[in-house]
Structure 1
Amino acid sequence: MSRRSTGLVGVWAEMQRQQQRQLEADARRRREQERQERAYQRRVAQSHREYRQAEARRRTEELDARVASLRGLLAAGCRAPAFRAASLLRAEEVQPFSPGPLAHPVPLPNPHHYQAQGGWTASRRAQAEAEARARFEHDLHAARAAEAQRLHQLEAYRREYEQWAEARRSEVRRHNAGIAEVTEGVRRRDPESVVAYFSAALYASTAWPEGFPRQVSAAYDAAARQLVLDWEMPGPEVVPETKSVRYMPGTDQDKETPRPVGQRRALYREVLAQCALLVLHELFAADESAALDAVALNGFVDAPDPATGRRTHIHLVTVMAPRSTFTGLRLEQVDAVSCLTDALRGQLAARPDQLSPVRPGRRPQEVGDQVVTHGDGGEEPDLYEMDPLAFESLVAELFRAMGMQAVTTQRSNDGGVDVDALDPAPIRGGKIVVQVKRYRNTVPPTAVRDLYGTVQDVGANKGVLVTTSKFGPGSHTFAHGKPLELVSGSELVDLLHRHGLRGRLGGAGRAAPARPAPPGPGARPDDSNVLGMSWSGDVALDVCALVCRGTRVLSDDHFVFYNNPQTPDGSVGALPAAPPDRAAIRVSFEALPEEADRFVLVAAVDPETDPEADLSGFTDARIRLLDPAMTEIGRLEVSDGRPGETALVLGSFRRRPNGDWDFVLGGRGYTGGLEQLLRDHGVEVE
């Protein structure tokens, strides 16, 4: 009995020991897993910290590199080769004739390959030989017909090639003759030729960093041998506001150290002085014919006037540089500010970052009538009047000047493509299809939609639509997020000049077209868009529009609502809404006043219909953008309303520098209703 009990106790004890060992092993595994997890988390945290620290260092290095580039702008520009008219000449060489498969004659059949098959008897052998000869004659006839067809096609292709090659050589000869004519005009001190030549020198320069503006107005005083020009300078934003970036592990955020105001101001003054000296250097270096005894330069920025808020040219630099004085300077070693203000006795704004202006010296308008602005005027071709084929060739030439391969397509079976281009750049390059629209009115969104269809059909990487006109908001809305690029007329002219090509939009002295009389109430101009607005909820709203300059309405008459159904010029007006819309506004962006840069849409609770309502029931709101034919061309989402608010800015269309309009989503609400919103926009509310 005792032995059995002892045996049971032993078994029980052994089971307890095994269970204990298992628990200890499990505990060891858990501790090891926890240790490995902690080690992994430490590695992840360390890797994250190292990445964020490296990213902060990279951003700091980029800022330092930008500042170093700005400080070395003049020295780097002086190392660039001087402009020469010969650099604009083009070789008359054309791509050699390459007929492809048409170059190879059709092979004639070999009679030895046509042997009689079979024939044990004389009659059967004669029949087999006759069949072999028949096959040979048939194939020989077919081969000769195919060869005749090949020769016919080859001759036709050769004629087409000769016509194309001669047209290309003629174009090159005309271009080179124009360059020679300008060069000879510079030798004769012809004002137009001198301005054209030195404008080309500035536009063709490789010394300017990417993104720096190139806008010039110039005139030439032949008697004094003096070139007078206004040249656009970069704005204060060219100097980075941030000095360095440091990662803070405690908050897992980057801390940006701002660049001191005094340091930014000093660097911006240095940049302006370097830009002015670099312009003078490029002009005198390009003067092969000694046409310039002096250059009068006024540097300006295109920015809102701090006093009036209106966009204007604010002059920050002015200098009169005689050749004899300037050529004695060693620009690579000078202090730019001292050189400009002391050696050349120029003026530089003391606080250019605050756009405090200087009084400009001699202006191009004071010289005479021969003033060229933005490279316009002179003998440059008017893009509106160009032959369509010549215009397409000019666009193709622009793409080639930008480093791409580009050819114009045949007039038939081109699939909606005017220029085929190939960007050889890795990653971002590829096949580009280009459509050219020589319009005077705004390009309709249907053209942008057609281009997108063509891009998909031909499998291109990108589609580019080039026009002499503009694009409306519908076009930009459709193109957003798609492999499409829209080039307006003003952007096209700028690109042409930047790459040494010539082109202008209309005549310099052409009178502005007369504006049509304002349409009657409810009438809709042919080029107007309709903005249809809808929302969920039962709240009754008044939808209104304001035509503004910045955040201020142009006048009380430019506030469109139920008591003022349209603006005085008829560019904006209220319309009866058609389902599914609950409100509608028409706007002709082309007809908006030139001083207007914003078109603002607002909504407010109607206090007479529902005095206790707010915008909490204003949800699922959207704006439908309709073309003149009332076809929907885009939708814009709008922010929901919030409790307590009784007025809301739905969004605003803002004029881009090239004249097009983009939509910016609103969302700011007002608890004081429409009155508070209007006061905020400068409307006098009784």
Structure 2
Amino acid sequence: MQQNQLRQAQRDQRAAERAAAAAEREEKAKHLASRREEAERRTADVTRWAAMLDELLVEGLRRTAKIDMQRFKRTVPRMVFNPGHLASPAEPPDWRQFEPAAPGMLSTVFGGRERHQAAVARARQRFHDATVSWQNSERERQQRLVQARSVFDSRVAQERADCAEHNRQIDAEIAALGERRREAVERYCEQVLSRLLLPPQFPRRAEVAFNPEAEQLVVQLQLPGTDVVPTAKSFRHVQSGQNPDTIVETKRPDVEVKRLYRDAIAQVTLLALRDLFDADAHLRGIAFNGHVDSINPATGRQEYPCLISLDIERATFEQLVLDRVRPADCLLHLRARVSEHPYALKPIEPILVFDLSRFAFIEGLDAVSTLDHRPDLMQMGHGEFEHLVRQVFEAMGMQGWTTTSSKDDGVDAVVKNPDPFVGGVTIIQAKHYKNVVGVNHIRELAGAMEEKKAGRGILVTTSWFTSGGRQKAYEHGRMQLVDGQNLIFLIKKYAGKDVVISVKRPRNAASIDQPDLPEGQAE
């Protein structure tokens, strides 16, 4: 018996080992199958994405770009007053619930009549008290009902008023668009560009400027970066070598990667132009600049190079059969300026720079020539000081304009760097102050930059900045500060003049280590 039990135990052990080995083989087979499926899935994903990049323009042409402004109007929903438990009054007291039973014949003989009359009197008092309580409750219910009705009517009236005001604003926007007011057309076209039928990974940032007299739109659109093109062509699961469980990537040829990116940004450009012309039948021409957000690997600085630029008339554009064109060839046909190496983000000079007409400018004053030997800047007028600041930046190689004092909206001057690596404009605020410049002035400059859609902002002062102000400007990221000491340095270096600033500066007023120069400006 013991030998039989031993042999059975051995047989059971061998069966368990065989089952474990089979389970291990099955688990390994499942794992390998899942890894193969993952490789196939990743291959299908990059194949599908590459095919989608080739179909951007065709897919975008399948819907209208017109925005129905009437669709933004609201209607007041049907609102029904629901009084709830206040709708129905409580049942009034019933005398029959309080009235005592009449005494029997025998009870009347032994004084039951007097007791009954006393009970009736008590019952009448209770009935009276209950009736008074019910009347009070009913009166309170009716008051609460009136209040609830009043609140409901006020809510309905407010909803109708809000709806009417909203619809009035929509009608005003429609009227302004029909009258071709610049701000309304710009808002409408920015909405059109924000609705481009593109993948969610693509940027939507756009700036537009409209010239009502020429019915021309100037567009600065952010194009997708090079990361939208998959550099992998396929994936496969490898079971040999030092790492037998690896998914190996097959690189896409460089020629194909560059072709995909060139065609992608060309399609985005053509789709943007088509949508703008389709959405606004009054536009006669569009000047388009396509830029890319990038970081220069040599300097580590943020740049906005222009890769595509063209100026196109509606009549010329409408001759195109867009669902049949080769996007890159089409841009060449339209005589667009296109980067020779867009995948390398090699910039071009735009055909037409972004419109500066949103600012009101005055003729520049030569403030530098008025400076004699070591003049005191605090003796200058505010207007002269603004012109001086503008001239200093012009001496750095910038193009500059001084704004009118009545229409500057917090902007004293505007400068533009002609370097194609740097897009947009820079607005300048000049503070001819004796006292410290704090955080509020930083916020003011940030608001002016947002309103004017400027790429950068510079705050120049004859005094100094608080530490909180410097920190706020640093956190903003697109703002530079020039205090009095650095202004003296800049005037000396670029205007060749020795100046002084008679401002009593506290000892703890730390200066910025180096003068803040405009983005991309080399000394």
Classify the TM-score, shorter chain: 0.5 to 0.7
Tell me whether 1:325 sits opposite 2:308 in the alignment.
no
Q: Which residue of 2 aligns with 1:335?
A: 326
Choose the corresponding residue for 2:204, options 205, 214, 228: 214
Deviations 1:607-653 (A, max 9, x none): xxxxxxxxxxxxxxxxxxxxxxxxxxxxxxxxxxxxxxxxxxxxxxx
Q: Which residue of 2 aligns with 1:360?
A: 350
- Cα distance in 1 for residues equivalent to 2:216 and 2:86: 60
- Cα distance in 1 for residues equivalent to 2:40 and 2:125: 84
Cα contact 1:219–1:365 (8 A) shared by 2: yes
Q: Which residue of 2 aligns with 1:92?
A: 75
Deviates more, 1:358-367 or 1:159-168: 159-168
Q: Which residue of 1 aligns with 2:464?
A: 517
Deviations 1:143-168 (A, max 9, x none): 44344334433433444444444444
- Cα distance in 1 for residues equivalent to 2:199 and 2:57: 11
- Cα distance in 2 for residues equivalent to 1:181 and 1:165: 24
- 1:138, distance to aligned residue in structure 2 (A): 4.0
- Cα distance in 2 for residues equivalent to 1:47 and 1:113: 84
Tell me whether 1:70 sits opposite 2:53 in the alignment.
yes
Choose the corresponding residue for 1:313, options 295, 304, 309: 304
Are residues 356 and 528 of structure 1, via their aligned partners in 2, closer, same or farther at CA, if it must alter by over 3 Å?
A: closer
Deviations 1:65-100 (A, max 9, x none): 332332222222222333224255322314625445
Q: From the two aligned structures, give the one with the greater strand fraction.
A: 1
- Cα distance in 2 for residues equivalent to 1:595 and 1:100: 66
Counterpart amino acid of 2:136? Answer: A
Counterpart amino acid of 2:335? Answer: R
Choose the corresponding residue for 2:15, options 32, 52, 56: 32
Are residues 107 and 63 of structure 1, via their aligned partners in 2, closer, same or farther at CA, if it must alter by over 3 Å?
A: farther
Deviations 1:285-319 (A, max 9, x none): 111xx321111111111222456432122111122
Q: How does 1:503-514 map to 2 (within 5 A)?
A: none
Q: Which has the higher contact order (CA 8 A, sep 6+)?
A: 2
- Cα distance in 1 for residues equivalent to 2:339 and 2:518: 27
Structure 2 counterpart SS, 1:331 = coil
- Cα distance in 2 for residues equivalent to 1:152 and 1:62: 67
Indicate the percent of aligned positions where both proteins have the same amino acid.
27
Choose the corresponding residue for 1:248, options 227, 238, 244: 238
Choose the corresponding residue for 2:221, options 231, 248, 256: 231
Q: How does 1:122-201 map to 2 (within 5 A)?
A: 122-126=113-117, 129=120, 133-201=124-192
Structure 2 counterpart SS, 1:363 = coil
- Cα distance in 2 for residues equivalent to 1:217 and 1:92: 32
- Cα distance in 1 for residues equivalent to 2:123 and 2:237: 89
Choose the corresponding residue for 2:65, options 39, 64, 82: 82
Are residues 325 and 34 of structure 1, via their aligned partners in 2, closer, same or farther at CA, if it must alter by over 3 Å?
A: same
Q: Which residue of 1 aligns with 2:25?
A: 42
- 1:31, distance to aligned residue in structure 2 (A): 0.8
- Cα distance in 2 for residues equivalent to 1:87 and 1:212: 28
Q: How does 1:654-665 map to 2 (within 5 A)?
A: none
Q: Which residue of 2 aligns with 1:267?
A: 260
Tell me whether 1:258 sits opposite 2:248 in the alignment.
no
- Cα distance in 2 for residues equivalent to 1:90 and 1:323: 31
Are residues 231 and 194 of structure 1, via their aligned partners in 2, closer, same or farther at CA, if it must alter by over 3 Å?
A: same
Q: Which residue of 2 aligns with 1:622?
A: none
- 1:257, distance to aligned residue in structure 2 (A): 2.6
Q: Which residue of 2 aligns with 1:106?
A: 89
- Cα distance in 2 for residues equivalent to 1:166 and 1:106: 28
Deviations 1:256-275 (A, max 9, x none): 33333222211111110111
Q: How many residues align?
A: 394
Counterpart amino acid of 1:227? Answer: L
- 1:127, distance to aligned residue in structure 2 (A): 5.1
Are residues 316 and 111 of structure 1, via their aligned partners in 2, closer, same or farther at CA, if it must alter by over 3 Å?
A: same
- 1:351, distance to aligned residue in structure 2 (A): 2.2
Are residues 223 and 255 of structure 1, via their aligned partners in 2, closer, same or farther at CA, if it must alter by over 3 Å?
A: same
- Cα distance in 2 for residues equivalent to 1:147 and 1:332: 75
In structure 2, the gaps of 5 or more residues are 104-111, 362-437, 478-507
Counterpart amino acid of 2:55? Answer: G
Deviations 1:98-120 (A, max 9, x none): 44536523323352772546675
- Cα distance in 1 for residues equivalent to 2:55 and 2:161: 43
Cα contact 2:46–2:230 (8 A) shared by 1: yes
Are residues 512 and 526 of structure 1, via their aligned partners in 2, closer, same or farther at CA, if it must alter by over 3 Å?
A: closer
- Cα distance in 1 for residues equivalent to 2:268 and 2:141: 62
Q: How does 1:398-437 map to 2 (within 5 A)?
A: none
Are residues 329 and 316 of structure 1, via their aligned partners in 2, closer, same or farther at CA, if it must alter by over 3 Å?
A: same
- Cα distance in 1 for residues equivalent to 2:452 and 2:139: 53
Counterpart amino acid of 1:216? Answer: A
- 1:322, distance to aligned residue in structure 2 (A): 1.7
Q: How does 1:504-653 map to 2 (within 5 A)?
A: 517-518=464-465, 525=468, 568-569=511-512
Choose the corresponding residue for 2:44, options 61, 68, 82: 61
Structure 2 counterpart SS, 1:332 = coil
Q: From the two aligned structures, give the one with the greater helix fraction.
A: 2
Are residues 206 and 225 of structure 1, via their aligned partners in 2, closer, same or farther at CA, if it must alter by over 3 Å?
A: closer
Counterpart amino acid of 1:72? Answer: E
- Cα distance in 1 for residues equivalent to 2:131 and 2:251: 86
- Cα distance in 1 for residues equivalent to 2:46 and 2:181: 46
Deviates more, 1:144-153 or 1:19-28: 144-153
- Cα distance in 2 for residues equivalent to 1:143 and 1:569: 80
- 1:245, distance to aligned residue in structure 2 (A): 3.0
Cα contact 1:215–1:231 (8 A) shared by 2: yes
Counterpart amino acid of 1:517? Answer: W
Q: Which residue of 2 aligns with 1:653?
A: none
- Cα distance in 1 for residues equivalent to 2:127 and 2:43: 81
Counterpart amino acid of 1:282? Answer: D
The Cα RMSD (Å) is 4.2
Are residues 210 and 168 of structure 1, via their aligned partners in 2, closer, same or farther at CA, if it must alter by over 3 Å?
A: farther
- Cα distance in 1 for residues equivalent to 2:170 and 2:324: 35
Cα contact 1:187–1:291 (8 A) shared by 2: no
Tell me whether 1:286 sits opposite 2:269 in the alignment.
no
Structure 2 counterpart SS, 1:219 = strand
TM-score using structure 2 length? 0.64
Are residues 301 and 144 of structure 1, via their aligned partners in 2, closer, same or farther at CA, if it must alter by over 3 Å?
A: farther
- Cα distance in 1 for residues equivalent to 2:512 and 2:115: 99
- Cα distance in 1 for residues equivalent to 2:89 and 2:345: 76
- 1:123, distance to aligned residue in structure 2 (A): 4.7
- Cα distance in 2 for residues equivalent to 1:140 and 1:317: 88
Work out which of the two has the higher radius of gyration on C-alpha atoms and give 1 or 2: 2
Structure 2 counterpart SS, 1:268 = helix
Structure 2 counterpart SS, 1:185 = helix
Structure 2 counterpart SS, 1:231 = strand
Choose the corresponding residue for 2:290, options 299, 318, 323: 299
Structure 1 counterpart SS, 2:221 = strand
Counterpart amino acid of 1:19? Answer: Q
Cα contact 2:205–2:221 (8 A) shared by 1: yes
- Cα distance in 2 for residues equivalent to 1:176 and 1:360: 40
- 1:368, distance to aligned residue in structure 2 (A): 5.9
